[in-house]
Amino acid sequence: GGGDGGSLQQVLRYPSVEEAVVCELDQRVVDLSRQYFTAGFGDPWTDPRATLLVRDAFGFLAENPGQFDVIISDTTDPIGMAERLFSDEFYQLLVRALAPNGAAATQCEQPFFDTALIKEIYCVAKSLTAHPAYYYTQVPTYPGGGIGFMYVSNTPWEAGLATPLPPGINNYINPDVHRAAFALPEFFRRALYGE
């Protein structure tokens, strides 16, 4: 996923990013996004650090063990062709493709509607890494007004707070919002973590 360039644009805001590789299954997504979105948002595909691969992410991840500091899985919902991006096999490939201290973030649905699926994904991530964690943010265009993500890593998410954000990088995230994203409603925290 990621062919719309939105996640890519956000990633490329960080000067420390040396290369950003996007695997998109459908070239038409990229073409239409460039045609209709770039007027208002710019064209991240012109950045020399951006690489587009029109191919399936499964094969790409399998061919690149230990290569990535960060992997962001920018997917649609777990239905149809995208369903396998929520599978045990995908998470195994994802973790295998991470560098030793790497971290991944995957779209992981809504706690108010998809608790069972999120718990299943968390259990898989927990079997593969030491510090998986679910986090949630508000996105008004999603059902219920928000969406969740799974942090998948052997490094605790709190380690990200140690690196200050470059000034002017964004107008949303700060250390308080970062911490708050991992604070879960009690019903969901108990269901997910069993505490």
Catalytic residues: 74
Query: What is the DSSP track for 105-164?
Result: EEE---TTT-HHHHHHHHHHHHHH-S--EEEEEE-TTSGGGEEEEEEEESS-GGGGGGSP
| Inter-residue long-range contacts of 141-144, CB under 8 Å, 24+ positions, other chains counted | 142/110, 143/110, 143/113, 144/110, 144/112, 144/113
Please tell me whether residue 47 adopts helix, strand or coil conformation.
coil
Cβ contact 20:8 at 8 Å: yes
Can you tell me the distance from the alpha carbon of 120 to that of 108, in angstroms, rounded to the nearest whole number? 11
Helix axes 88-97, 115-128, angle to 10 degrees: 40
Q: What are phi and psi of 187, to 5 degrees?
A: -60, -40
Residue 17 is encoded by which pair of tokens? 């990013």
Using an 8 Å Cβ cutoff, are 134 and 150 in contact?
yes
Tokens 């991944």 correspond to what residue? 104
